């Protein structure tokens, strides 16, 4: 039986969400996924449908989302559905929703120098085999400065500052580029690369996303072996999501 993936694209057109979504669709179909494309956030309205998926891939920048939709996604991911995204399509999606940021592991705050900055992606040796065989590589794009969850496992970094600005008065920092996170029984994967479709098409970036898709989709199998309802049945209670703050 084919695994099922939902790609929801939209928001700011500068990130070429439709073109990136099509590239993701092609990668997933090569891996024998059944893929649904949507350009509506209402695709998150049916919680039971979301729970039936293996993978949710948001690619939506600078939008607003109903709180209940984020709670639906959170419950689906906690039950074992994978969550994968890149660049502003996942970690600059909904700036006013802290629940989204809690689940995804971080949020964008700046890209000093804007587009066209040359920087190095440094692959980390870690417990994860996801980037095995990849070497450090240079890229010319936006270099994302992120506020991120200390619970994430960082798989690759980039060094700041590269571009001058007020942030350069601080010490040198290694900022995460790629990370993984657990959300209940679900696997969350994020890569800050992917400003536009041409960046996603770079072989290293395409391979990184492919591996992220496959790894994140493994959570569903693990969940089938456990009593998910007993462990993570009440996402609202164990995260505080949906509170009035």
Over residues 72-89, mean pLDDT: 97
Distance from the first to the final alpha carbon of the chain? 42
Indicate the pTM of the whole model: 0.93
Evaluate if residue 127 carries a pLDDT over 90.
no
pLDDT tens per residue across span 195-210: 999 999 999 999 999 9
Tokens of 238: 């164990």
Sorted by where each starts, the structural domains of the chain and their CATH numbers stand as 3-106+176-239 (3.40.50.880)
pLDDT band at 241 (very low <50, low <70, confident <90, very high): low
Q: Are the C-beta atoms of residues 30 and 2 closer than 8 Å to each other? A: no
Greatest CA separation found in the chain?
A: 55
Evaluate if residue 231 carries a pLDDT over 60.
no
Buried b vs exposed e over 8-38: b needs ≥16 C-beta within 10 Å? bbbbeeebbbebbbebbbebbeeeebebebe
Q: Are the C-beta atoms of residues 106 and 98 closer than 8 Å to each other? A: no
Q: Residue 197: name the closest of 57, 9, 19, 7 by CA.
A: 19
Tokens of 113: 């120098």
For residue 10, is it left (φ>0), alpha (ψ between -120 and 50) or beta? left
């Amino acid at each position: 039986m084919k695994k099922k993936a939902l790609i929801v694209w939209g928001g700011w057109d500068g990130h070429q969400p439709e073109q990136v979504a099509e590239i993701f669709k092609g990668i997933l179909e090569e891996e024998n996924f059944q893929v649904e494309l949507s350009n509506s956030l209402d695709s998150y309205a049916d919680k039971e449908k979301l729970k039936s998926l293996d993978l949710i891939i948001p690619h939506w920048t600078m939008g607003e989302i109903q709180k209940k939709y984020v709670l639906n996604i959170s419950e689906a991911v906690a039950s074992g559905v994978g969550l994968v995204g890149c660049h502003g399509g996942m970690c600059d999606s909904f700036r006013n929703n802290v629940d989204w940021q809690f689940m995804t592991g971080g949020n964008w705050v700046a890209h000093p120098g804007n587009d066209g900055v040359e920087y190095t992606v440094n692959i980390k040796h870690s417990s994860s085999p996801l980037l095995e065989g990849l070497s450090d590589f240079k890229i010319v794009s936006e270099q994302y400065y992120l506020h991120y969850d200390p619970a994430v496992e960082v798989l690759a970094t980039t060094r700041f500052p590269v571009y001058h600005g007020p942030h350069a008065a601080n010490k040198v920092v290694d900022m995460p580029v790629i990370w993984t996170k657990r959300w209940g029984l679900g696997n969350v994967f994020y890569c800050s690369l992917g400003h536009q479709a041409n960046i996603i098409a770079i072989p290293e970036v395409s391979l990184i996303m492919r591996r992220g898709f496959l790894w994140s989709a493994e959570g569903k199998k693990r969940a089938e072996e456990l009593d998910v309802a007993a462990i993570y049945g009440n996402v609202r209670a164990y995260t505080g999501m949906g509170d009035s703050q």
